[in-house]
Structure 1
Amino acid sequence: MATLDSLLVPGAVDLHGTAKDWRAAIHLAGSLLEEAGTITADYTEAMVHSVEETGPYIVVAPGFAFAHARPSEAVKETSLSWVRLDKPVEFGHDSNDPVDLVVAFAARSDSEHLQAMKQLAKLLATKRDELDSAESEEGLRAVLTASTSSKKRAASTATSGPKAQPAKQTAADSVASKGKILTVCGNGLGTSLFLKNTLEQVLDEWGWGPYLTVEATDTISAKGRAGEADFLLTSGEIAATLGDVGVPVYVIQDFTSMSEIDGALRELYDI
C-alpha cells in the first residue's frame, strides 16, 4: 500500500506558506498539486466548496486541516501536498483553530490510501513537534519515514487509570453491542479515517479490538446504516447534518487524541 512518503509529491512542500484566510490556505496547498500535474484546478475548488458547504470538519486536530474532496476526474494521481503557514489562519472550528498545518489530499479511489492515512494519524498524535520543526522537504520526509508503529508511544496519549478487561465475553455482552462503530465524515475517505485509526488504537489498548468492527463512512451512508452500529463518532459539523439517526452521535474534537476517544467510549459504554 501507498505510504505518506510515496504520496507526498516531490516539491509539493511549503514550510513557510502565507495565506490571508482558510480559502487561500487550501488554494495554496492545492496549487502545489496542480503544479505537479496530479490534480486540476477543479479539485482545488472542490476542496474549498466542501468546507463552504459543510463547515470546518476538515480541521481534525489542533492546528491541523486535512483538505480533500471526493475522488473525481480532476484527480490524475493519488497524491498529497504539505503546507506549514508562518501565520496561522482561522477556519471557524470551535476548538482546533487557528490552523498552521494544511495537508491537501487527492485520491483516485476510496481504498488505495488507507495505510498512508493511518501513518499520518499516528504521526500527528506522536510526532507533531518533529513535523513542525522540520525546515526542509528532506527533513520532513525523514519524519514521515520514521517508524510510527510503537504502541508504547501511541498509548502514552491515552488516559491513565484502569482499562476495560480484555475478557472473552467481549464488550458486546456488557452493553448489548451490535459489534460495530461508525466514524463519519463528508466523503467517507478522509477525516473519518483519522478517527477510525485512533479509535482502533484505543480499542486495541482495551483488548476490545477483536470484538468491535470500526467502519469509516460518509454522511449519506451513515444515515442509512446507523442502525447497524452502537453509535457514531464524528465532528460537530457532520453531526449537525446527520440529525437524529436512531443511535447516539458523539462529537469528537481532536481526531488524533486517544485520551478524548478513550473518554468517549467510557461514557458511551458506561464504563
Structure 2
Amino acid sequence: MPTLVDTRSVRLHATASDWREAIREAGDALVAAGACASSYTEAMIRSVEEHGPYIVLSPGLALPHARPDNSVTRTALSYVRLTSPVAFGHETNDPVRVVMALAAADGTAHLRALADLATVLADPQRRHRLDNASTPAEVLDALRPPQARPPAGRSTEAAGGTDSPEGADGEGDPGTAEGTADASSSTGSTETTVASTGLVLTVCGNGLGTSLFLKNTLEQVLDTWGWLPYLRVEATDTISARGRAKDADLLLTSGAIAQALGDPGTPVEVIEDFTSLTEVDAALRRTYAV
C-alpha cells in the first residue's frame, strides 16, 4: 500500500470548514501526486451528494472516491488529517478527522490496496499509529501491509475476541441447506434457517471503494470462522444490488445506502463501522443463527 501513498499525497495539518473542503483537500493531494486531474475531486463530491455520507466508513475516517474515468492517470490513495474535524452527516461516525481519497485507474488495480487498508484499520494498534503519525514517513510505515493472515481453519477465537461458533469450523457448510442447519443445531439454537445461496453482497454507491473495503472486512471474519470456502462475497453498487438481491443470503451496507435500497427482498444488515470485525461478526451470526 505505501506504493499507492507517497509523501506528496500526505497532509497532516490540513484545514477545512466542511466536508466538501475536506474532500477537496484529499483530492488536491492526489493531484499533487500526479494521480488525477482536479475534475476527479468534483466527481468524488458529487458521489456523496448523490448517495449520502456512506464513505465515512469508521469513526473519524472517510474514504471518498468516484468511478474510474479519464481524469485518473494512476491508482493512488491520499492521506489527509484535519486540524479540526468536520461533519459529513453520518449519524454515528462523525466528525471526520482523517480523509483518505482513492483514485482508481480501473476496476481492479486498487483491490489489493483496499484489502491491505481494511486489515490495517481493523487493528487498533495500527489505527492508533496512523491517527497519531507526525511525519509522512510515519504514515507510510503505519500503512505498510501487515503480515499475511494465518490460513483459514479451526480457530478458538472469532473476530472481535468472541468464541468461534462450533458450526463455523468447516463441519457445517453454509453453502447448503444441510450446512445451515448444522450451524444452527450445533449451537443449540432452535431457530429455523433456510438454505444458503452461498452469496453475500456488500453494497455502496459505486461498487468500487467502500463496498470493497467492507468485503475485505467480512472476508477476514469468514477466514477466522473457516467459512471462506463456503461463502462468496461480492462488492456491488446500489443498482446492481437491487437486481441481484434475490440471489444472496444478505446484503451488508451503510445506513445511507440501506435507505436508498429500500426493501430488496433479502435481509439487509447495516454496518456502522466498516473496520469492525466484531460488528460484522455479529451481523453474520444473526443471519446464519450461529
Q: TM-score, normalised by structure 1?
A: 0.93
Distance in 2 between residues matched to 1:146 and 1:189, nearest whole Å: 20
Q: What residue in structure 2 maps to residue 227 of structure 1?
A: 246
Residue 266 of structure 1 deviates from its aligned partner by 1.0
Deviations 1:64-95 (A, max 9, x none): 00010001111111111110111111111011
Residue 156 of structure 1 deviates from its aligned partner by 7.8
Distance in 1 between residues matched to 2:32 and 2:141, nearest whole Å: 24
Q: Give aligned pairs, total.
A: 266
Residue 162 of structure 1 deviates from its aligned partner by 4.3
2:276 to 244, 253, 257: 257
- Asked if 1:102 corresponds to 2:99, the answer is yes
Distance in 2 between residues matched to 1:162 and 1:141, nearest whole Å: 34
SS at match of 2:197: coil
Distance in 1 between residues matched to 2:280 and 2:98, nearest whole Å: 22
Residue 147 of structure 1 deviates from its aligned partner by 2.3
- Asked if 1:82 corresponds to 2:85, the answer is no
The structure with the largest alpha-carbon Rg is 2
SS at match of 1:88: strand
Residue 241 of structure 1 deviates from its aligned partner by 1.2
Distance in 2 between residues matched to 1:266 and 1:8, nearest whole Å: 36
- Asked if 1:163 corresponds to 2:160, the answer is no
Against the structure 1 CA distance between its residues 218 and 50, is the aligned structure 2 distance closer, same or farther, given a 3 Å change threshold? same
1:133-144, aligned counterparts within 5 Å? Answer: 133-144=132-143
| Matched letter for residue 230 of structure 2 | Y
Residue 167 of structure 1 deviates from its aligned partner by 3.4
Structure 2 unaligned residues grouped into runs of 5+: 152-156, 181-192
1:59-70, aligned counterparts within 5 Å? Answer: 59-70=56-67
Residue 159 of structure 1 deviates from its aligned partner by 4.2
| Matched letter for residue 194 of structure 1 | F
Q: What residue in structure 2 maps to residue 34 of structure 1?
A: 31
Asked if the contact 1:119/1:148 (under 8 Å) is kept, the reply is: no
Structure 1 unaligned residues grouped into runs of 5+: none
| Matched letter for residue 81 of structure 1 | S
Asked if the contact 2:13/2:82 (under 8 Å) is kept, the reply is: yes
Residue 145 of structure 1 deviates from its aligned partner by 2.0
Percent identical pairs in the alignment equals 53
| Matched letter for residue 136 of structure 2 | E
Deviations 1:138-186 (A, max 9, x none): 111112225243559xx78514234242233402322410001000011
| Matched letter for residue 183 of structure 1 | T
Asked if the contact 2:74/2:103 (under 8 Å) is kept, the reply is: yes
Distance in 1 between residues matched to 2:121 and 2:67, nearest whole Å: 23
| Matched letter for residue 236 of structure 2 | T
Against the structure 1 CA distance between its residues 170 and 156, is the aligned structure 2 distance closer, same or farther, given a 3 Å change threshold? closer
RMSD over aligned CA atoms reads 1.7
Asked if the contact 2:249/2:266 (under 8 Å) is kept, the reply is: yes
Q: What residue in structure 1 maps to residue 55 of structure 2?
A: 58
SS at match of 1:254: coil
1:196 to 211, 215, 218: 215
SS at match of 1:6: coil
Asked if the contact 1:123/1:148 (under 8 Å) is kept, the reply is: no
The runs of at least 4 consecutive aligned structure 1 residues that moved more than 4 Å come to none
SS at match of 2:63: strand
SS at match of 1:209: coil
Q: What residue in structure 2 maps to residue 129 of structure 1?
A: 128
Distance in 2 between residues matched to 1:237 and 1:80, nearest whole Å: 24
